[in-house]
Structure 1
Amino acid sequence: MRRKLIAALAVAALAVAGCAGPQNTGTGASGSSALNIYLYQEPAGLFGPLAPSSGPDNQVMSLLHEGLLGVDPDYELQPRLAESYEVSPDARTFTFKLREGLKWSDGKPFTSKDVLFTYKLLADPRSTSATAGNYTAVEGVADFVAGKADEISGFSAPDDTTFVMKAAAPNFGLAALVGTAAIVPEHVLGDVPVESVAENEYFRAPKVTVGPYTFVEYRTNQYVHVTANPEYRSPAKIKDVFLKPMTSDAATAQLGNGGIDIASYSPTDLETVGGFGNVSTQEKPGAGFVRIALNQSKPYFSDVRVRQAFLYAVDREQIVKTVLAGKGEVRLSDFDKDDAPEGLETYAADPDKAKQLLTQAGWDFNRTVNLQWVQGQRDRDATVTIVQNQLAAVGVKVKLVNIQAAQISKTYDEKSYDMTLYGGGNYAVDASSVNYITACALRYPAGGNINFFCDPQLDDLMARANATTDEAERKSLYSQAALRENSQADLFWLYSPFGLWGVNDRVQGFEAPGSQDAGFWDPASWSIAG
């Protein structure tokens, strides 16, 4: 049976060989071969901080760009472009000291003016920044957006290596919320009108970067090619990296035959990957989760009983056991497991209760709702079918709609979708990050609340928790917020998958992220043996 599976995977690999881009050829910084990395989806091709978050685009960006801070494999904030940072005792002033001598890939000096330019751009809704809502807590942003001020008083660059950010009110989590934003070059984009900057070619071909790599080309359905930035503070040890979108089956096959060096893979392929003699597995609990957003701008999803019914209808434990082979956990809340209190409703599978709640809510059992997802990841492909079947068992008709990653944001813009399955996020760094996907003020496009959920009571608890530096009080308030959010079923939580990464033994220094859609950590330190 195992031989048949490996043979089938080999066929899948051959099927994409014609469009997979370069194999392990080419010379690296020390005579090394090029590195080939699997991308779990086709990128949208917007490699900058203005666009809505996209897992594959973010993975490409993690090689090209850097922020003041980064999140390490243990989910801790670490200085990157900043050498250090301080938070004032009242949690209102954040002072970042930049590394000295940094340069852009074109040799121009990197200074705090680039940071000031980027943060102002990201805070300005006219730029179509998908994260503009994150900056509303900064002093002066409200007046700037309202046209009452030309500058943002809460941003300043007192010298070339210092950037200061001030919050309008105590905001302990602000550094975690915005500190990782990718910084872009003022000398390239500074003269572009803010209303049209998002359309600038730079974001599709960022050839001037401050990260370890710079952009070469993107060939749709083939690869994204990046090359080492010679001006990076610690030049990358591998010259060329190719990031290749393909199905998970094809990626696993190419992992076995050497066409791919680094790939996330499905738990159902554990035995197969274990049989590859030159591949090691790195496993890590994830900081995000896979979920289904129910579009609450549509009246039939605005009733909390409907959202609760959907959770009761689906046996998520079964999904973890069968689809993930136990390599994951059922998710009960947006909050990370370490931040979640006892007493959360588990919504264990109970079809009878699901039917009862749907009836009480007046659900129209003749209605058909669409569930959209991007096909190609084995766990998600299997999950949508299970969800469809188990919702059907309680009388909910679901039509599955396969959609391209680049089309998803349009359905958010138009509020046209019913349900969408997606994953990712990092909610382990600081509990305040949950606000980005729950806050009324951060409903898309102002933020990541793509399901258009709104609960002022939850917003109040989150704001109070984030306003105090007292650790015990923060924990208590976030526990209350988690209980509230869990009871409101803002999202159709599914599971937190463990990150499973197959790494060719010739690759040294790679540290696996917690999920297939997370950015990569410190790629400049990777090397290839031999």
Structure 2
Amino acid sequence: MNFRRMARALALAPIALCAALGGATAQERTLRVSLNTELQVLDPIVTTINATRVFSYLVYDMLFAIDGEGNYQPQMVETYTVSDDRLTYSFRLREGLEWSDGTPVTSEDAVASIRRWAQREALGVQIMRIAEGLRVVDARTFELKLREPYAFVIEALGKPGNVIPVMMPARLANLPANTAVPEVVGSGPFLFDRAGWRPGERATFRRNPRYRPRTEPASGLAGGKVVHFDRVDLISLPDQATRVAALQANEVDYLEIIAADYIEPMRRNRNITIAQPRGAGQIMAIVSLNHAQPPFDNPAIRRAAQLALNQEEVMASIGLPAGMYLSECRSLFMCDTATQSNAGADVFRNAGIERARTLLREAGYNNEPLVFLHSESSALLNPMGVVIADQMRRAGFNVQLATSDYATVAQRRLKRDPVSAGGWSMVNIIWNGIDLVNPLANPGVAYNCATHYSGWYCDPRQTELLRRLASARTAEERTRLADELQAAFHDNVNYILGGQFSAPAAYRSELQNVIEFPIPIFWNMSRR
């Protein structure tokens, strides 16, 4: 690591943060946080950016939530029942829930929120496709009636990532699902100070006095979200060295992700705690291919790219200490989890640059330009992207790097246009492991043939497997179908798995009762 750069950043950090923290008062108990990406979009239905996910769990709540053991628990729901034929679900909301504007939360709000979410999310689309009705019964009760059983209704309503099924007032949820809502009105543990929001500088959240925590202990995203801070500031610090220096100087309390080359030095600092994520708490590096445009509209060319990627080289580029990454993981559902699978991994036999070169020639590749969207501003995506691009070039691809900041990449990857009209061919991204363990919610397969999800992969085999998995009655049948789904994923090359690794949080050791979870959580914790 560059200690001179770090020392300089340490000297400059207090200056930068004095400006960023301008609104705090001495009396407020303030938690100061630096996320890995900037908060730009305030609606989790229209984007999957991780900063928006963090925002969502601060200001919104959900019907169900996943706990630290991977189980789904009622959150805004008080009780629910499922009929013996698995076709009718009845939900009753907790008494006394309020929106941040003071109006009561009703079943009408819940029904409208589910309908809006279901327009944008794969599980929601699947449920509504077989729904006979979703109706209000009374002010606190609503009912979902299906034409055929669906195995993951509760998991869908509590899914922790991508398009999150947050609850909103009906007047907002009834607005178009492809446009961000104009107001932030939630029922979560914090209130967003929109008037004081300074994009690129600071976003402030204050404790919601109307929030009513559940009585159960907090676990993951579930249980009692008891808030001990008056205020949470998300502070924009784009430089990784500055972030670490600010943490050392006690100018920030919590880093969502600590850059790899600072982990070992920070482990020796008794004032800093480094999280230790494992299994579903880790991250999967992903290479997204544009199936809608050449050259990756050709499955044979996609397979050549898949065999060119060496996970160990990609993982080494991050600079993580030993034990924080796997040299190889071919499981779409994450390795070191109960859903780990080796199905379809035989396609990687004899993988490597030479085999990829051979497949590329056989596929008839004619040196078409491959536009690789490269996020230079990301401590994780930047080095991995450089290595992946080099591997593709060595395999014979005509790679053209389109380097920019992450926000620009995230926007451009939504374009379906040809390369000649500003489109793209390939981009490396990351997915949280907690989003991958459920096959029906896993974005690597769940958005099969969807027109609104970047990448636009479509495989009729997977459509049928998803349908059968959704109605599977036994755990054994679900496992078998998940294996078939993963094998089809590798064969069709929906995406390329780049490797599994930890991107740990780092925080001041005086913080206690921190819930270590793939998503930063700011309830339950307090300062000693």
On whether the aligned pair clears a TM of 0.5, the verdict is yes
| Partner of residue 150 from structure 2, selected from 153, 162, 171 | 171
C-alpha change, 1:184 and 1:197, in structure 2 (3 Å) is farther
Q: Does 1:214 align with 2:191?
A: yes
| Partner of residue 250 from structure 1, selected from 235, 239, 242 | 242
Distance apart, 1:195 and its partner CA = 4.3
Any residues of structure 2 matched to 1:64-213 within 5 Å, and which?
64-123=59-118, 130-131=120-121, 133-138=122-127, 154-180=133-159, 181-186=165-170, 189=172, 194-195=175-176, 198=179, 200-202=181-183, 206=184, 208-213=185-190
Any residues of structure 2 matched to 1:53-452 within 5 Å, and which?
53-123=48-118, 130-131=120-121, 133-138=122-127, 154-180=133-159, 181-186=165-170, 189=172, 194-195=175-176, 198=179, 200-202=181-183, 206=184, 208-217=185-194, 218-234=197-213, 236-245=227-236, 246-263=238-255, 264-285=257-278, 286=281, 288-323=283-318, 324-326=320-322, 327-329=324-326, 330-337=328-335, 338-343=338-343, 344-345=345-346, 347=348, 350-365=352-367, 367-407=368-408, 408-415=410-417, 416-425=423-432, 426-434=434-442, 437-443=445-451, 445=452, 448=453, 450-452=454-456
Where structure 1 has 5 or more consecutive residues not aligned to the other structure, the ranges are 125-129, 143-151
Q: Which moved more, 1:224-233 or 1:171-180?
A: 171-180
Distance apart, 1:19 and its partner CA = 5.3
Structure-2 residue corresponding to 1:147: none
Q: Does 1:481 align with 2:488?
A: no
Where structure 2 has 5 or more consecutive residues not aligned to the other structure, the ranges are 160-164, 214-225, 418-422
C-alpha change, 1:39 and 1:270, in structure 2 (3 Å) is same
Structure 2 counterpart of 1:160, one-letter code = A
Q: Is the Cα–Cα contact under 8 Å of residues 375 and 385 in structure 2 kept in the other structure?
A: no
Identity of aligned residues (%): 19
Q: 2:266 is paired with a residue of what secondary structure?
A: helix
* Partner deviation per Cα, 1:189-213 (whole Å, 9 max, x = no partner): 37x7x349935421xxx1x320000
Q: 1:301 is paired with a residue of what secondary structure?
A: coil
C-alpha change, 1:502 and 1:118, in structure 2 (3 Å) is same
* Partner deviation per Cα, 1:442-479 (whole Å, 9 max, x = no partner): 23x1xx4x211111112211211221121111111111
Q: 1:158 is paired with a residue of what secondary structure?
A: strand
Structure 2 counterpart of 1:293, one-letter code = S
Q: Is the Cα–Cα contact under 8 Å of residues 123 and 136 in structure 1 kept in the other structure?
A: yes
* Partner deviation per Cα, 1:259-312 (whole Å, 9 max, x = no partner): 221112123221121133311111112365221211010131022222222222
Structure 2 counterpart of 1:37, one-letter code = V
Q: Is the Cα–Cα contact under 8 Å of residues 373 and 426 in structure 2 kept in the other structure?
A: yes
Separation of aligned partners in 1, 2:251 and 2:398: 42
Structure-2 residue corresponding to 1:524: 523
Separation of aligned partners in 2, 1:325 and 1:306: 34
Separation of aligned partners in 1, 2:16 and 2:301: 42
Q: Is the Cα–Cα contact under 8 Å of residues 42 and 405 in structure 1 kept in the other structure?
A: no
Separation of aligned partners in 1, 2:427 and 2:177: 29
Separation of aligned partners in 1, 2:494 and 2:178: 34
Structure 1 counterpart of 2:68, one-letter code = P
C-alpha change, 1:346 and 1:21, in structure 2 (3 Å) is farther
Could you state the TM-score of these two structures normalised by the residue count of structure 2? 0.85
Q: Is the Cα–Cα contact under 8 Å of residues 48 and 182 in structure 1 kept in the other structure?
A: no
Q: How many residues align structurally?
A: 491
| Partner of residue 467 from structure 2, selected from 463, 466, 476 | 463
Structure 2 counterpart of 1:336, one-letter code = M
C-alpha change, 1:241 and 1:223, in structure 2 (3 Å) is same
Q: Which moved more, 1:232-241 or 1:434-443?
A: 434-443
Separation of aligned partners in 2, 1:403 and 1:169: 47
Separation of aligned partners in 2, 1:279 and 1:503: 6
Distance apart, 1:183 and its partner CA = 0.5
Distance apart, 1:244 and its partner CA = 2.2
C-alpha change, 1:332 and 1:60, in structure 2 (3 Å) is same
* Partner deviation per Cα, 1:415-457 (whole Å, 9 max, x = no partner): 42211221124335522112674543423x1xx4x21111111
Q: 1:184 is paired with a residue of what secondary structure?
A: coil
Q: 1:232 is paired with a residue of what secondary structure?
A: coil
Q: Which moved more, 1:477-486 or 1:347-356?
A: 347-356
Structure 1 counterpart of 2:300, one-letter code = R
* Partner deviation per Cα, 1:344-367 (whole Å, 9 max, x = no partner): 2473751100100110111123x3
Separation of aligned partners in 2, 1:342 and 1:196: 37
Q: Is the Cα–Cα contact under 8 Å of residues 137 and 168 in structure 1 kept in the other structure?
A: no
Separation of aligned partners in 2, 1:389 and 1:441: 30
Distance apart, 1:67 and its partner CA = 0.8
Q: Is the Cα–Cα contact under 8 Å of residues 92 and 172 in structure 1 kept in the other structure?
A: no
Q: Is the Cα–Cα contact under 8 Å of residues 357 and 395 in structure 2 kept in the other structure?
A: yes
Structure-1 residue corresponding to 2:222: none
Q: 1:231 is paired with a residue of what secondary structure?
A: coil
How much is the aligned-residue C-alpha RMSD, in angstroms?
Answer: 2.8
Structure 1 counterpart of 2:265, one-letter code = T
C-alpha change, 1:49 and 1:500, in structure 2 (3 Å) is closer
Q: 2:376 is paired with a residue of what secondary structure?
A: coil
